[in-house]
Amino acid sequence: MSFPAVVVLVDRLKLAKLIGAFGKMRPRLEAVAQSRTGCRAMAEDLIQDVWLKLENTSFNGEVNNPGGFITQVANTTITGHLRKERRRAEINAEVCGLLWESVDEASPERVLIGQENLCLICAALSELPAKTQRIFLMNRIEQIPHRRIAEILGISDEAVYYHIRRALEQLAELRDELVD
């Protein structure tokens, strides 16, 4: 009996339905993604992610509305990306506020305070695990994006986010101590 072959054939038929619908919808999906992200290249990347999610979907039931299913996957993918970008911008603003306070005048006293604060920041970062330090410095100093760091180190985007967040939490604790 070749039951597993039948299941694979059924999944391929369902995937073929999605492929056809995706091909027809792709220009509209890219337009929606571009309007929401404001970037054509990012829109193309997101729609490629949608395709990969569709391709890796295991089908438990029938997909009666392939267009609706694809639209839902695309909306979820775009919304998730925008949420990550918004959080990344918040973290960047917090780090900038922590590290590069805007000052009109660099008096000797402020320079000394800045040097002391820098030493405290270095000490706080040195208390972190080496991997967390490396990821934080790659992202914040070398300006390497999360996705690229994940590729370089062979870890997930979520793991990169976790390490950066861990470092930022350490710096936030230091900031709170300095303010008190």
Q: How far apart are CA 134 and CA 129, in angstroms?
A: 9
Name the CATH code of domain 101-179 (choices 1.10.10.10, 3.30.70.100, 1.10.1740.110, 1.10.340.30).
1.10.10.10
Number of other CB atoms surrounding residue 40 within 10 Å: 12
For residue 64, which of 102, 1, 30, 17 has the smallest C-alpha distance? 17
Q: For residue 105, what pLDDT is reported?
A: 62
Q: Is 58 exposed, middle or buried (0-12, 13-18, 19+ CB in 10 A)?
A: exposed
In single-letter form, the type of residue at position 30 comes to E
Q: For residue 161, what pLDDT is reported?
A: 92
Q: For residue 100, what pLDDT is reported?
A: 67
Q: How far apart are CA 158 and CA 38, in angstroms?
A: 24
Q: For residue 17, what pLDDT is reported?
A: 81
Q: For residue 65, what pLDDT is reported?
A: 87
Average pLDDT by stretches of 10, the chain with 180 residues: 43 78 93 93 93 79 83 94 89 76 68 87 91 93 91 93 92 82
Q: Is 135 exposed, middle or buried (0-12, 13-18, 19+ CB in 10 A)?
A: buried
